[in-house]
């Protein structure tokens, strides 16, 4: 049995869905950031496998851009979480409910 590109794409789709469902159901802000990372890495896997399949370097190049963006995003996200936790230790997403109509 050979592992074709489709397998990688399916794995990426599963990882992406895991990340997006996790983001919606988990309440710990840190875990939510991890879920976003999982989604972005699923995209990376898609880029790499499609790029390899097409014999095109562009897909693998895109991964580097995504990695840098993901790193920058996590920096900001963790800083925001730290800023909130300092004022309200142990806050979960459900506790952040000051805003509303």
Partner 1 sequence: MIFAALAVPTPEVVWWGLIPVIVLSGSALLMLTAASLPWRMPAWLASTWTVAAGIAVVVAVFPMWARIQNDGPLAFLGSAVAVDGSTLFVTATLAVAVVATALLGRAYLEREDLPGVEFYVLLLLSAAGGVVMVSANDLIVLFLGLEVLSIAVYVLAAMHLRRVESQEAAIKYFVLGAFSSAFLLYGIALVYGATGSTSLVRINAHLASTVLVQDAMLLTGFALVLVGFGFKVAAVPFHAWTPDVYQGAPTPVVAWMAAGVKAAAFTALLRTFVLSFGAYSGDWRPAVAVMAGVTVVGGATVAVVQTDVKRMLAYSSIAHGGFILTGVQAADDRGTSAVLVYLGVYTLLAVGSFAVLSAMGGVGDTGHRLDDYRGLARRQPLLAAAFTVLLLGQAGIPFTGGFVAKLGVIAAAVNVGSYAVAAAAMLGAAIAAFVYLRLLVAMYLDDDQAADTHPVVVPVGARMVIGLAAAGVLFVGLVPGPLVDLSRDAIPVLVGG
Residues binding partner 1 (CB under 8 A): 9, 16, 19-20, 23, 29, 32-33, 36, 39-40, 42-43, 46-47, 50, 53-54, 56, 58-59, 62, 65-66, 69, 72-73, 76-77, 79-81, 83-84, 87-88, 93, 96, 98-101
Distance from C-alpha of 19 to C-alpha of 33, rounded to nearest angstrom = 10
Q: How far is the CB of 29 from partner 1 (least distance, A)?
A: 7
Residue the block writes with tokens 């996200």: 77
Distance from C-alpha of 25 to C-alpha of 58, rounded to nearest angstrom = 34
Residue the block writes with tokens 């950031």: 33
Q: How far is the CB of 3 from partner 1 (least distance, A)?
A: 17
Distance from C-alpha of 66 to C-alpha of 16, rounded to nearest angstrom = 15
Q: How far is the CB of 85 from partner 1 (least distance, A)?
A: 10
Closest CB to partner 1 among residues 11, 36: 36
Closest CB to partner 1 among residues 7, 54: 54
Distance from C-alpha of 24 to C-alpha of 13, rounded to nearest angstrom = 17
């Amino acid at each position: 049995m050979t592992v074709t590109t489709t397998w990688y794409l399916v794995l990426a789709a599963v990882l992406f869905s895991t990340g997006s469902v996790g983001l919606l159901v988990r309440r710990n802000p840190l875990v939510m950031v991890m879920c976003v990372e999982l989604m972005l890495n699923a995209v990376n896997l898609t880029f790499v496998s499609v790029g390899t399949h097409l014999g095109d370097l562009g897909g693998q190049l895109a991964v580097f851009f995504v990695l840098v963006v993901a790193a920058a995003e996590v920096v900001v996200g963790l800083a925001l979480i730290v800023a909130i936790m300092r004022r309200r230790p142990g806050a979960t997403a459900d506790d952040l409910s000051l805003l509303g109509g």
